[in-house]
Amino acid sequence: MKYLLGVFATVFVLIASIFWVVNRGSNDAVKPVEKATVLTEYADSSAKAIYELHGELVANEQRQAVRITVDRNQRTFEVLDSYNQNVVSTKSFTNNSAAFEEFVYGLSRAGFISKQTARFDSEKGVCPRGNITIYKLSDHGSEISRLWSGSCSKTAGSFDGNSRTVKGLFEAQIPKYRDLVRDVEL
């Protein structure tokens, strides 16, 4: 009887050890960790914050969009024509590091790079009778963040920030913004 108990105990320890090693190995595997982007780290850099507002899905000749790009040296307003986004009008203004830093902190508090799981893989074809907004952050030509939302449904896009505040922050960077978009069909 003692011999049988010893065999069972040895088999139990052996099986438990095998399970422990197998499970431990899978948990200890090196997994890549995606570093969260901290927007305010770009306040003193060559980064560009970009806001694009695209109009309804219409004929190529009628398609228009507005793009505002802000970096620490310049603020640019552009009117884009057609689905190829040909620039038809540009207005530029100087900027400075202090103003850009305040702007970036404002964007950060408004959730400019806050992401949610989108219902669709792309903004293409989403919200055909409304507007699509693209929110981008780039640095040294590399895209750091690209999110989007549609006016038809907030949950359709990947942007999870405060769209009204972000829009207001970008529009406020362009003097007489309302006059510049008066004839743009969005």
Written as tens digits, the pLDDT of the chain (186 aa) is: 555 555 555 555 555 555 554 555 444 444 444 556 788 888 888 999 999 999 999 999 999 999 999 999 999 999 999 999 999 999 999 999 999 999 999 999 999 999 999 888 889 988 899 999 999 999 998 999 999 999 986 557 999 999 999 999 999 999 999 999 999 988
Closest CA to 54 of 62, 41, 45, 63: 63
How far apart, in Å, are the Cα atoms of 68 and each of 92, 141, 166? Answer: 10, 16, 12
CB 140 within 8 A of CB 46: yes
The amino acid at 53: L
Cα gap 81→89, rounded to integer Å: 9
H helical segments located in 57-124: 97-109
pTM, 2 dp: 0.79
- Per-residue confidence (pLDDT) for residue 28, from 0 to 100: 47
CB 112 within 8 A of CB 135: yes
Tokens describing residue 53: 């507002």
* Gyration radius of the chain's alpha carbons: 26
Cα gap 59→92, rounded to integer Å: 29
Cα gap 107→112, rounded to integer Å: 5
For 78, residues 6+ apart whose C-beta sits below 8 A from its C-beta are 66, 67, 68, 69, 87, 89, 90, 91
